[in-house]
């Protein structure tokens, strides 16, 4: 059973060790061809952040980490102290242009580089291996979330989605269709076809052999009125402790419409809420091109640890979990 494309962060993002470059999937070329855009210096990394910042489970933190590896590559033949100084300076530059969700991983990558230099080891290798491990962890979270979501689907279901739901949505569709032999029809909406990868969902789902209908946001109400939609699923960019979420622009309108039509609205929540964010309304003021979906418009939030009612999402933080390499759902 082959795994479809875009079920791993490595399908979106690569690091070229030979040249010390970052490569990012150019989804504007899909489905005709798969091409990667290359970023060769810190000055262009902000363009990479802009390209992915509004994707669910955005790889911005991994881009920042790989950018630090790129600097380590450029300075690897220099003495240890100039090397260390260059990597520290690059960290400060990246903190100025990277989204806040990249800061913690960036500091961890700096620690990896510093330890490697202190012990006479290759700083680039240390950073790349550290980021690769974090990507594997992120992929396992997405896979587990997607497998849990697949259990919600019945054979013959029609699903409404809001653009690209991240790799968890792809896992959900793949498991339901290819493993569980469920026939699914996917209706996916997008307001701006080439903005922030929203049109990525259609070619990916069609690759899986899933019947897919692409439509504009303004057609959603007619679709809900004329088609038997069994549930709506959207991906959270961020979950607050009050059960509200931020999601791609237009998600709030979709959630409101499906509620009016008595269609359940589920959220792919990946690794759960941010413990320091009480409400998504606060976060919306700091972001652009996002919507806040209130908790009362959400039926349940699906995470790698389980499915929660929005009012109970804070329990995620205290719930235990099996190791991420164990998927006890088959």
Find the domain containing 165 and state its range: 152-318
pLDDT in the model for residue 330: 32
Out of 110-124, 174-188, 294-308, pick the least confident. Answer: 174-188
**Residue 80 shares a structural domain with residue 102:** yes
Q: What is the pLDDT of residues 96-130, one digit of tens each?
A: 999 888 999 999 999 999 999 999 999 999 999 99
- Residue 324 maps to a domain: no
The pLDDT tens digits of the residues spanning 204-214 come to 776 778 888 88
Kindly state the average pLDDT of the residues 284-300: 78
Give the predicted TM-score (pTM) of the model. Answer: 0.87
Boundary residue ending a domain (112, 139, 166): 139
Dist. CA 263–CA 85, nearest whole Å: 56
Asked if the structure places residue 237 within a domain, the reply is: yes
- Asked which of 88, 110, 139 is the last residue of a domain, the reply is 139
The whole-number pLDDT of residue 273 equals: 92
Residue-averaged pLDDT of the chain: 85
Pairing of strands 245-248, 238-239: antiparallel
Residue 83 pLDDT > 50: yes
Edge-first strand listing for the sheet containing 185-189: 211-215, 185-189, 158-162, 231-235, 265-270, 300-303, 307-308
Residue 327 confidence class, pLDDT cut points 50, 70, 90: very low
Residue whose C-alpha is closest to residue 321's, from 308, 301, 303: 303
42-58 confidence digits (pLDDT tens): 889 988 888 777 677 78
Domain annotation covers residue 323: no
**Which stretch of DSSP H or E encloses residue 300?**
strand 300-303
Quick one: pLDDT at residue 15? 96
pLDDT at position 244 is 94
Identify the CA nearest to 64 among candidates 85, 93, 84: 93
User: By C-alpha distance, which of 304, 21, 14 is closest to 171?
Assistant: 304
Domain total for the chain? 2
Specify whether 242 is located in the same domain as 210.
Answer: yes
Spell out the alpha helix ranges (H) of the chain.
42-52, 60-74, 80-97, 103-118, 123-150, 167-174, 201-207, 220-226, 251-260, 280-284
Q: What average pLDDT score do residues 192-203 get?
A: 52
Higher per-residue confidence, 125 vs 4: 125
Return the pLDDT at 66: 97
- For residue 328, what pLDDT band results from cuts at 50, 70 and 90? very low
- The pLDDT, as a whole number, for residue 305 is 92
């Amino acid at each position: 059973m082959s795994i479809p494309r875009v079920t791993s962060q490595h399908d979106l993002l690569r690091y070229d060790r030979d040249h010390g470059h970052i490569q990012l999937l150019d989804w504007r070329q899909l489905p005709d061809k798969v091409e990667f855009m290359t970023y060769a210096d810190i000055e262009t990394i902000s363009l990479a952040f802009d390209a992915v910042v509004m994707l669910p489970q955005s790889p911005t933190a991994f881009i920042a980490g790989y950018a630090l590896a790129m600097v380590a590559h450029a300075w690897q033949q220099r003495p240890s102290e100039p090397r260390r100084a260059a990597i520290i300076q690059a960290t400060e530059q990246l903190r100025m242009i990277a989204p806040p969700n990249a800061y913690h991983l960036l500091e961890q990558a700096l620690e990896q580089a510093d330890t490697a230099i202190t012990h006479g080891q290759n700083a680039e290798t240390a950073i790349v291996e550290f980021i690769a491990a974090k990507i594997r962890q992120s992929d396992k979270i997405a896979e587990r979330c997607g497998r849990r979501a697949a259990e919600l689907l019945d054979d013959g279901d029609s699903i409404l989605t809001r653009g690209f739901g991240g790799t968890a949505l792809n896992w959900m569709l793949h498991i339901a269709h290819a493993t569980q032999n469920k026939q699914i029809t996917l209706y996916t909406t997008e307001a701006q076809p080439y903005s922030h990868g929203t049109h990525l969902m259609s070619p990916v789902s069609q690759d899986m052999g899933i019947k897919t209908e692409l439509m504009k946001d303004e057609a959603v109400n007619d679709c809900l009125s004329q088609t038997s939609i069994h549930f709506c699923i959207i991906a959270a960019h961020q979950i607050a402790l009050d059960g509200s979420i931020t999601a791609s622009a237009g998600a709030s309108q979709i959630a409101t419409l499906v509620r009016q039509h008595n269609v359940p609205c589920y959220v792919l929540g990946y690794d759960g809420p941010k413990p320091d964010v009480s409400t998504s309304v606060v976060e919306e003021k700091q972001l652009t091109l996002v919507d806040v979906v209130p908790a009362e418009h959400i039926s349940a939030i699906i995470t790698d640890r389980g499915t929660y009612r929005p009012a109970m999402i804070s329990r995620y933080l205290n719930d235990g979990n099996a190791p991420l390499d164990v998927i006890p759902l088959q």
